[in-house]
Structure 1
C-alpha cells in the first residue's frame, strides 16, 4: 500500500520466496507448510505524492527582426545544441543597411579628420598672434561635433550589424526542440509569437505539493538527523506503475503555502540520461508519482505479504508454535508495499509465520513446517 499518508520501503524492498521444492503432503500426516522467522528489518519511511516533471530550462524561440522566413534547419522534435542554427531569415535588406551604415561611418570619419586639421591651423595661428580666439573656439566646437557624429554613425552601424545577426536564429540552450509554428515563406517578426520551444533534457525537475503537516514532520526528522534538508531522496513511479531507476534529490521548498489546500510545493532534481535505445524516459510536464524518502531508517517487523490474510475481524497470520501447531494471530499492519507487510502489533521477533501452503492450514491443528528463504527484490 502506498499513498499520501505515507508508505514504507524496506531496505530489501519486497520479499520473494526463494525457489524451493513443492511442499509434499504426507498421506495421513499434518499438512506441509513453508514458514519464515520474523526478524526486525531496517526500513525507510516514504510518502507518495502526485507530481509533475518540468524542464529546468524552457526557452521560446522568437524572431527579433521582421523578415521573410527562408529556411528551417532542424527536424521537429530533434535534440539541438546551444548555438546551433535553427532558422535563417531573409538577409539582403539587412546586408544593404549595413553597407549604408559603413558609408556613414566613413563620411563621419572624413568630417572629423577635416575638423582636426582646421583645429590645428586655428591653434597655430592663435599662438602666433595672427588668429582670433573666436576662430579657435569655432574650430574646437566643429571638432567635437564631428567626433560625436562619428560615434553616432558607429553606433548605427553596430545596431545594423546586430539586426543582420538576428536573421540567423540559433538555439539558446541544449535541449529538445518542439514543432515549429511558422513554415518558410511567411513573414515573421517579434510580434509573430513563438516559432518553436526548446526545453532542456537532463537533469529534470519534479515538483509536487506536500501537506504542511507532513513537511513539518520531515523537518523534525531532518533536525534530529542533523541534515540541512537537501539530503532527502526522491524516487519516481512513472505512468504504468513502474519505478524509475534514477534517484533525485530535494533542492527547493516553496516560500508560501497554498491557502486552498494547505500544502506547499517541493521540487527535486533528477537525472534523465539517454537510454541504450537512444531515448530519454522523462518528458516535460509528465505526470508521475513522487516518492519522498524520510531521513532516518527505522527498525520494524516485516513479513512477506503472502502470509497475511483478512477476514471480517481484520488481518491475521498463522503462527507456528514450538509444538508445530498453527494458531491464528491477529495483527495490525503499518504502511506496506505490494510484497512486504509491516507489522506494528501482534508479532514479536523470532515468531514463525506460515507463508506457503496457507490454504491447507486450519486453526489449532498440527502442521509440518519447512523453512523457506526470503530474498530481496529491488523492484519495489
Structure 2
C-alpha cells in the first residue's frame, strides 16, 4: 500500500513534465545508508502483576458478584462464602453470654448484700472479700465471652471475598454452591501495568538491545479499532538473559495498551540488525506502464533507468524509498 502511494505520487509528477522548468531541476547523489533490519513477530499482552482474590474462610460459595472481564476496585466484594457452623457458634456464644451475665448479676447482688451486712456489723470482712472475688471472676468471664463472640462475628464477616487491587478480572474459577477452603482462589485480578512479551529466535539475541524503538501494528484480528491509531510506538524495556527452547524473550513498554486483553497477541516490528541500502527521494521515481524509472545525470546527458523499489526508509524529515536494483553508489539522480 505504501509502494502504491509512492507510485501514485510519482505518476502525478511524471504526468506533467512540461510544467516543470529544467532550471528548477536538482540532483541527488546516491550513497549507501544504514537502515534498521526489521522483523515482524507477535507480541503477547501480559500484566506485570496478577493477584488472586482468596477466600478467608472455608465454606460454600453463596454469591458470585463478578465475572471474567469486569473492572473492580480495591476492597470491592467479589463473592460471598458462608459457613453454616459459624451461625451455630454464634448462637452458642449468645447463650453462654446470657448465662454469664446472669452469674454476674448474682455476684453483684451477693457483693452488695455482704457489704450491707458488714456495714451493719453483722457480717464479716471475709464474706465481703469472697463476694468481691466472685464478682470480679464473673466480670472477666463476661468479657471473655464477648471477645469470643466478636471472633465468631469477624469470621462471618470474612466470608466476603474482597478485591485485593484495582484491575480487571481474568478468571473466576468458582461457581454458586461450590465448596472452597480458606486460602483458595475465588478470582484472579490483573491490576497492570500491561506490556508486550516477545519471543524471538536465538539467532537474533545479539541484535536485540534495551531501549530500541519498535512499531506495534493493529490489534490482532480486530477490524473496528475506533479511535485507536493504526500503529503504536514502544521501546524494548528488558531483554531476558536466559534462552529457552532456542528463543529469547524481551518486554516492550507501550502507552495506551490498557484496552487490550491479557494474553492478546498483536503484531510487532522489532529491529534485529542493520543493513546497507541505496535509497532516493520518492519524487525522483516516476512510473510508466507499471514500470518504475529514475532519471540519471551523466556527462553526455540524461537517461532513464528502470529500478525495482523496496520499502520506505528514513524518518518524516528525510523520507526515502529503497532501490533494490538499477542504481549504484555514486549515481546522480535528477530530481524534478
Q: Same fold (TM over 0.5)?
A: yes
Q: Hey, what's the Cα distance between the residues in 2 that align with 1:194 and 1:212?
A: 37
1:154-165 maps to which residues of 2 (within 5 A)?
160=152, 163-165=155-157
Residue of structure 2 aligned with 1:235, choices 206, 215, 227? 215
- How far does residue 169 in structure 1 lie from its aligned partner after superposition? 1.0
Larger Rg: 2
Alignment correspondent of 2:188: 197
Q: What residue ranges of structure 1 are gaps of 5+ in the alignment?
A: 2-13, 27-33, 111-146, 220-228, 275-279, 310-314, 354-369, 372-380
Structure 1 residues 317 and 166: CA distance shift in structure 2, 3 A: farther
User: What do residues 156-191 of structure 1 show as CA deviations (whole Å, max 9, x unaligned)?
Assistant: 77864663343111222222224645443x143128
1:51-62 maps to which residues of 2 (within 5 A)?
51-62=43-54
Q: What residue ranges of structure 2 are gaps of 5+ in the alignment?
A: 19-24, 104-139, 224-228, 315-319
Asked if the contact 2:29–2:330 (Cα under 8 Å) also holds between the matched residues in 1, the reply is yes
Alignment correspondent of 1:69: 61
Q: Hey, what's the Cα distance between the residues in 2 that align with 1:252 and 1:159?
A: 48
Alignment correspondent of 1:256: 242
Q: Does 1:85 align with 2:69?
A: no
Asked if the contact 1:38–1:352 (Cα under 8 Å) also holds between the matched residues in 2, the reply is yes
1:1-380 maps to which residues of 2 (within 5 A)?
18=9, 20=12, 23-24=15-16, 37=28, 43-74=35-66, 76-90=68-82, 93-94=85-86, 97=89, 160=152, 163-178=155-170, 180-184=172-176, 186-190=177-181, 194-200=185-191, 202-219=192-209, 229=210, 231-237=211-217, 238-239=219-220, 245-258=231-244, 260-261=245-246, 263-273=247-257, 280=259, 282-293=260-271, 301-303=278-280, 304=282, 318-322=294-298, 323-328=301-306, 340-341=321-322, 346-348=327-329, 351-352=332-333, 371=336
- How far does residue 307 in structure 1 lie from its aligned partner after superposition? 5.1
User: What do residues 291-320 of structure 1 show as CA deviations (whole Å, max 9, x unaligned)?
Assistant: 33479x9995434599599xxxxx995443
Q: Hey, what's the Cα distance between the residues in 1 that align with 2:185 and 2:266?
A: 28
TM-score, normalised via structure 2 length:
0.57
Counterpart secondary structure, 1:254 = strand
Structure 1 residues 265 and 308: CA distance shift in structure 2, 3 A: farther
Asked if the contact 1:232–1:294 (Cα under 8 Å) also holds between the matched residues in 2, the reply is no
Asked if the contact 1:63–1:169 (Cα under 8 Å) also holds between the matched residues in 2, the reply is yes
- Number of paired residues? 270
- How far does residue 283 in structure 1 lie from its aligned partner after superposition? 1.5
Q: Hey, what's the Cα distance between the residues in 1 that align with 2:40 and 2:14?
A: 38
Q: Hey, what's the Cα distance between the residues in 2 that align with 1:159 and 1:256?
A: 50
Structure 1 residues 206 and 59: CA distance shift in structure 2, 3 A: same
Structure 1 residues 198 and 84: CA distance shift in structure 2, 3 A: same
TM-score, normalised via structure 1 length:
0.51
Structure 1 residues 245 and 190: CA distance shift in structure 2, 3 A: farther
Q: Hey, what's the Cα distance between the residues in 2 that align with 1:216 and 1:86?
A: 46
Asked if the contact 1:336–1:342 (Cα under 8 Å) also holds between the matched residues in 2, the reply is no
Compute the RMSD of aligned alpha carbons: 5.3
